[in-house]
Structure 1
Amino acid sequence: MLDLKLIRTNPEILDASLKRRGKNPIAQQIVSMDESYRAALTELQELQTKRNQLAKSFGEAKRTGQDTTALAAEADQIKAAIAALESKSNDLNQVLLDELSGIPNLVADDTPEGLDETTNIELRRVGNTPSFDFEPKPHFDLGEALGKMDFEVAAKLAGSRFVVLYSELARLERALAAFMIDIHTQKYGYQEVYTPILVNEKTMYGTGQLPKFRDDQFQTTSGYWMIPTAEVALTNLVAETIQSEDQLPLRFTSYTPCFREEAGSAGRDTRGMIRQHQFGKVELVSITHPSESKTEHDRMTSAAEDVLQGLKLPYRVMALCAGDMGFAAQKTYDLEVWLPSQNIYREISSCSNCGDFQARRMNARFRPQASADNPKPGTEFVHTLNGSGLAIGRTIVAILENYQRHDGSIAIPTALIPYMGGVEVIAKK
């Protein structure tokens, strides 16, 4: 959520950011709603002061034996007016909060201009794309031919956009998760966390999934929400807390199943494992001092890149333009892995700096260390960052396609062989 004080004093900043995202201006509407709410509060406070003064007059009149009929009638009128104003101010505040909660984060100054993916900027390419002496097959043809990937059975069990993996492909999911977690914990110092995958509405609100993206989520009949990413639970670990400055940064990682009702554009990636309702993902979350979030963003992106480099998968790093970024992000880097069957790079990780946007929604703060100039410092909002480190399903897709052989078998990346129990090749039995 954005700082309401900033919108009051510099409404042009909000509208300029919205314009960069391709959205209509809204600052003046927010300012007007805020003025109405604060006017109602002022009127309410004046009535409450008048009520207190009247209570004193009533007490004095009663003590001295004066007639209190008129005072009592006036008190009843003020009581009714206060109740009406309390209801009005609460309604105005809720409408204001609802409007604020639907406004995306301010775009960072160094985020590229543009409204869609065609204006994203390529920062670098790493690794050589493979060359084949045969026509490379898509991952779903490879997996089905191996007898280890089944979409028809998954459709019987659940419906479209699900998959069943067998044998070595099922183990590959588990091996990749362990491989990624080991890199992030042992090399980059992330703390591994096991979290709920069902969370309440407040938790989903804290990271920005609700209320704006309600229709994109799965909700149970008992009111729980199924997480679309472990970012939701990991970031909310610091909700309603005040960290000491020397505790920052906090770095968390988790491997969880993720669930998304909206699985992409209609008619796109309808086959295969690119867009599914359920998928595994290793997530990275950092909670930092505001002055360190830019550096942490680069560090997090490097951690995700390290996984791709360890697997020797060719990829590129993209700086997303303002119009292609997510709701909570102020700056985002995407990692895109090479898919031979499509002859293009496809997203496999998105690493975003959210600034204090989520922290304001969660009321997540830190207290700076005391100094001679400031012996009793107040609290400040932390900055939050999140990134995929990586999406497991898409990593399986990339391995199948980049490591495929002429006979349809799949070589296992060297770094994964120990996690696969020594299996070096996946072949049809």
Structure 2
Amino acid sequence: MRRYLAPLFLIGLGTSALAQIGLPQTGPVVGGGVVETIGGTVDRTLARTRDLDLTAPVRSVAQLARDRVQRIQRLVRANPERIELDDQGEPARRGIVLLLDTDAASLDAARKLGFTARTVDGLDELGIGAVELTAPSGMPLSRALQQLRGALPGKTLSADVLHFEGASAARASSGGAKVIGRPIGTAVGIIDGGVGPAVSVIEQTGFATGAPSPSDHGTAVAGLLRDAGVRSLYAADVYGRDPAGGGALAIARALNWLAGKKVRVVSMSLVGPRNPLLERALATLSGRGTVILAAVGNDGPSAPPAYPASYPAVLAITGVDGRNRALIEAGRALHLDYAAPGADIRALNAKGAARSVRGTSFAVPMAAARAAAAIDAGRPVRATLDAEARDLGRKGPDNQFGRGLLCGNCGR
């Protein structure tokens, strides 16, 4: 590992971040969750439209950890009216606490503490009841959570934590990705940024301010699904033009919308901390037979476990390069299911131009296409993917490639 940060930089780093780079854990947690950082996309408000070169040399594991923390800090500083850190040091919507399974007594107790309550809509398909509690003016989110947990013991409370897209499109490249295999009719849902007009979708809707709004990342994911044969796409934009986009509630609402559309496969190329609302939504959808896949993130192998990839209901996907080597920046999950191409591939950006892309985000649509193809053929998804997967690394499942490589020729 390269030399550590200078002492001045260490001021303000939290326990989770310090643990990632092998330093003693002291002081409050800052940015403890997993946020994909390759190319600076965490700081969406500071570099939203920049043409980023993701084919540049990949940063070291220590640099990935430092970058993640710095970008979270910049995001919060740039948007203090919309974003603050929760009691775990995770970026979240300012002043908002989510309460599940509410009752009249709980609401009365919250109101006596000065909180206002608003019933959450858009979760009916999943059968989830939730309330947004807004903290009194001037009360930090960490304090709000502490007070509510004391007043409502046994209740499920959380901040509306933010999740982040992975890497964006990079420099121009010749040609586009080639279509692999026969057309796939099973519909796939995308929860990401907005999809540009270069990739046709059946329907697109937004779950954030200014959404749907075309993004390079969402368009690349949708284009890779199309190139892998999927013909029916539903796109949920959970970012729009909102610096506080990508919250757990927005994602849960997007899952609820896809449940109403009877989508059988969901592709999620985003990363954030664990959240009880999102965990319940995913478990409910998975229990109904929907296959959900998510990226392990790009914060490196020493990062905390990535969510939603780490939820039991989700297939965790990592990426490999053109020589089938694990991406050095690939994060980790509590389990790893499959690998797919995540580098040395091309995809469309929001304007329809072909770009080279890199990151575990772009492996997810490849694997999702294969899951959809299994459903198309009337075959069990897990068994079919296991049979298709090409074993890489040491024999059998491992923590670098999972149960093997899917869609090895996709995007190349």
Q: Report 1 or 2 for greater relative contact order, CA contacts < 8 Å, sequence distance ≥ 6.
A: 1
Q: Flag whether TM exceeds 0.5 (same fold).
A: no
Per the normalisation by structure 1, the TM-score is 0.22
Which structure has the larger Rg over C-alpha atoms?
Answer: 1
Report which of the two has the higher share of helix: 1
